[in-house]
A and B are shown apart, each in its own frame.
Chain A
Amino acid sequence: MADVKKKATRESYGEALTELAEKYPNLVVLDADLAAATKTAIFKKAYPERFFDCGIAEANMMGVAAGLAASGMIPFASTFAMFAAGRAYEIVRNSIGYPNLNVKIGATHAGISVGEDGATHQCNEDIALMRTIPNMTVIVPCDDVEAKAAVEAAIKYQGPVYMRFGRLAVPILNQAGNYKFEWGKGVTLRDGEDITIIATGLMVAEAVQASDILREQGISARVINIHTIKPIDEEIICKSARETGKIITVEEHSIIGGLGSAVAECVCQNCPVPVFRIGVNDVFGYSGPAVDLLKEFGLCSENIIATVKKVLNK
């Protein structure tokens, strides 16, 4: 995929906010001293009067966002996933989720691809935390095009949304212009009959690559991109379960509580088939270059291919 253009979804986030600001005059952006990293600095530069730095105080930022939303604004509260979902969890639950307020949480630097900063900043638990909150929607876009479309979809949606973005530049799979973000709908990127690979976020590109390589080896692996983890697309998951009989989930998140769990919950109840989860195996991350770390943790096409072969006994 060397020739594919790459971009970090955090960058898409900052750009999308800026591009959409004129169209949505109620949109305001909050950050907690990480604007340069979350890329809301792009928005800040263009619309300084609509940007509010809350300092290193994420709990208050989430509460301020709730108050803004209760007064008709559409606030995007931005910080690293670790602090948005972790540090501020209870404020997100009680001040945003419970009153069902129209707050959008832009969480960047999710997962181990944070890289060198290490375990304290590599949040592998945010999807699990956020999807247990009633009223909360959880979106994990896979590339630049999807991330930008998701930001606008979140603005149009009335209610709290948690959006997960990454630090690492990832391949742009979708084509701008003819991409449509469908809320709560999975996207089939490769057809296949032998097995289904369900991926989210930056693992989608790896899943596609794995499927293409497997196809050359005579294995037909369907690939589904789940960008909306909650509410999850039960229909597309059940259809795949019935048609391919086996599912592998791939996510840059703990195997506990994230995409794998959400898929397993759906499959167990509606169409039981084996579900194999690829993710962070209930361990903390550590420092290192992002791409190397992803390989270390098996979050790469090579491990997806190996897992598919193992599951299919090939």
Chain B
Amino acid sequence: MDEVIKKQLQKIAVNVRMGVLTGTFHAKSGHPGGSLSIVELLVYLYFNKMQVNAENPEDENRDRFVLSKGHTAPALYAVLAEKGFFDKSELEKLRHIGAMLQGHPCIQTTGIDMSSGSLGQGISCACGMALAGKLNQKNYHVYTVLGDGEIEEGQVWEAAMFASHYCLDNLIAIVDNNGLQIDGKITEVCSPEPIDEKFKAFGWHVILIDDAHDFDKIDKAFAEAEKITGKPVAIIQKSVKGKGVSFMENQVSWHGVAPNAEQYENAMNELKVALTELEG
């Protein structure tokens, strides 16, 4: 990947992480852990891959995005704000009464293509969008992000079966494999492993990213995904829950808890250092 572009994306990623913390801090609730693990992915999609335009959010030719793991909306909101879909000040009102930004994505929000958050449902909606693209002979792609805990939902596999049966090669599902869910490690709660073999068995082309926070590796995976025809693509990205904030990394306790004032300040200071290093 071009080094200049990569550096830009890395800076945006730090800003997005700040947005995640700002949103959850002001909301006094929310899901920072799983939001932080998908930051590079969302930044890559919205700033380097998807054809979307904040000036024309309903463009029928646009690429679609469905955050099937909808509880990590703070990451998506921060990316959409960076992209200009709405003002960054909205992040401070996340989850407040009367706010535009709901606890989980809502289709009425500018830039959100589908309401989601009840796990397992977003991938089905993404299948419908991909099928509509085929029927209407549109060239758009549909991207959907699932949690590795989320794929314990049976509906995910109904959708996986459907997508391969109808050869939805305009559909790319990314599984955020941070290894943790509310009750603990995914392998200890009710293991969905091996994830790659399951998607392969359901007829998908599977691509692995061994470090979801490395833009070069993300770029390489999507370059491969684009070449696949005749079947849907599953990208399984190995990520770190809470990535970018030292005390949140790999801590299941940060799944659904907001930082307090002191934690927020510490986290923001860490990110400011990271940003300074990138700019230096």
A residues with a Cβ closer than 8 A to B are: 28, 50, 52, 54-55, 57, 59-73, 75, 90-91, 94-95, 98-101
Select from chain B the residue with minimum beta-carbon distance to A73: B132
What are 23 sample pairs from A and B whose C-beta atoms fall under 8 A apart? A52-B166, A54-B158, A57-B158, A57-B161, A57-B162, A60-B155, A60-B159, A60-B162, A61-B124, A64-B162, A66-B114, A66-B124, A66-B125, A67-B127, A67-B128, A71-B136, A72-B132, A91-B118, A91-B155, A94-B115, A94-B118, A95-B121, A95-B124
- The complex places the Cα of A119 from the Cα of B120 at a distance, in Å, of 29
Select from chain B the residue with minimum beta-carbon distance to A59: B155
Given contacts A94-B115, A98-B115, A99-B114, contact A71 B132 (CB under 8 A): yes
Residue B131 at the A interface, CB < 8 A?
yes
Which residues on the A side are within 8 Å of B131 (C-beta)?
A: 52, 64, 67-68
Given contacts A57-B161, A59-B158, contact A68 B121 (CB under 8 A): no
Select from chain B the residue with minimum beta-carbon distance to A95: B121
Select from chain B the residue with minimum beta-carbon distance to A100: B107
Which residues on the B side are within 8 Å of A65 (C-beta)?
A: 128
Given contacts A95-B125, A99-B107, contact A67 B114 (CB under 8 A): yes
B128 near A64 with CB under 8 A, answer: yes
A55 near B60 with CB under 8 A, answer: no
Which residues on the B side are within 8 Å of A100 (C-beta)?
A: 107
Which residues on the B side are within 8 Å of A90 (C-beta)?
A: 118
Report the 9 A-B pairs with minimum CB-CB distance, sorted nearest first. Answer: A67-B128, A63-B124, A71-B132, A60-B158, A57-B158, A67-B125, A64-B128, A99-B107, A99-B115
Select from chain A the residue with minimum beta-carbon distance to B125: A67
Select from chain B the residue with minimum beta-carbon distance to A49: B135
Residue B113 at the A interface, CB < 8 A?
yes
Which residues on the A side are within 8 Å of B161 (C-beta)?
A: 55, 57, 60
Select from chain B the residue with minimum beta-carbon distance to A57: B158
Question: Per a CB cutoff under 8 Å, which of B125, B132, B135 touches A63?
Answer: B125
Residue B38 at the A interface, CB < 8 A?
no
B residues with a Cβ closer than 8 A to A are: 60, 64, 66, 106-108, 113-118, 120-133, 135-136, 154-155, 158-159, 161-162, 165-166
A68 near B106 with CB under 8 A, answer: no
Select from chain B the residue with minimum beta-carbon distance to A63: B124
B121 near A64 with CB under 8 A, answer: no
Which residues on the B side are within 8 Å of A98 (C-beta)?
A: 106, 115
Select from chain B the residue with minimum beta-carbon distance to A90: B118
A67 near B124 with CB under 8 A, answer: yes
- The complex places the Cα of A99 from the Cα of B124 at a distance, in Å, of 14
A99 near B136 with CB under 8 A, answer: no
* 20 further A-B pairs in the complex, CB-CB below 8 A; given A59-B155, A60-B158: A52-B166, A55-B158, A55-B161, A57-B161, A57-B162, A59-B120, A63-B127, A63-B128, A64-B125, A67-B124, A67-B131, A71-B136, A75-B128, A91-B155, A94-B118, A95-B124, A98-B106, A99-B107, A99-B108, A99-B115
A70 near B158 with CB under 8 A, answer: no
Select from chain B the residue with minimum beta-carbon distance to A67: B128
- The complex places the Cα of A101 from the Cα of B66 at a distance, in Å, of 15
Select from chain B the residue with minimum beta-carbon distance to A71: B132
Which residues on the B side are within 8 Å of A69 (C-beta)?
A: 128
Question: Per a CB cutoff under 8 Å, which of A55, A60, A91 touches B127?
Answer: A60
Name the distance in Å between A119's Cβ and chain B's nearest Cβ: 24
Which residues on the B side are within 8 Å of A50 (C-beta)?
A: 135
DSSP class of B's interface residues: helix, strand, loop or mixed?
helix
DSSP class of A's interface residues: helix, strand, loop or mixed?
helix
Most buried by B among A54, A62, A64, A99: A64
B130 near A67 with CB under 8 A, answer: yes
Name the distance in Å between A74's Cβ and chain B's nearest Cβ: 11
A68 near B107 with CB under 8 A, answer: no
Which residues on the A side are within 8 Å of B162 (C-beta)?
A: 54-55, 57, 60, 64
Which residues on the B side are within 8 Å of A75 (C-beta)?
A: 128
Name the distance in Å between B100's Cβ and chain A's nearest Cβ: 15
Name the distance in Å between B146's Cβ and chain A's nearest Cβ: 13
- The complex places the Cα of A71 from the Cα of B122 at a distance, in Å, of 14
B129 near A68 with CB under 8 A, answer: yes
Name the distance in Å between B64's Cβ and chain A's nearest Cβ: 8
Most buried by B among A71, A91, A98, A99: A71
Question: Per a CB cutoff under 8 Å, which of A55, A57, A67, A94 touches B132?
Answer: A67
- The complex places the Cα of A91 from the Cα of B116 at a distance, in Å, of 10
Name the distance in Å between B105's Cβ and chain A's nearest Cβ: 10
- The complex places the Cα of A65 from the Cα of B159 at a distance, in Å, of 12
- The complex places the Cα of A68 from the Cα of B118 at a distance, in Å, of 19
Given contacts A94-B115, A99-B107, contact A70 B159 (CB under 8 A): no
- The complex places the Cα of A90 from the Cα of B116 at a distance, in Å, of 12
Select from chain B the residue with minimum beta-carbon distance to A69: B128
Given contacts A72-B136, A99-B107, contact A59 B124 (CB under 8 A): yes
Most buried by B among A67, A69, A99, A101: A67
Name the distance in Å between B103's Cβ and chain A's nearest Cβ: 13
A68 near B132 with CB under 8 A, answer: yes
A70 near B128 with CB under 8 A, answer: yes
- The complex places the Cα of A68 from the Cα of B64 at a distance, in Å, of 12
Most buried by B among A62, A68, A100: A68
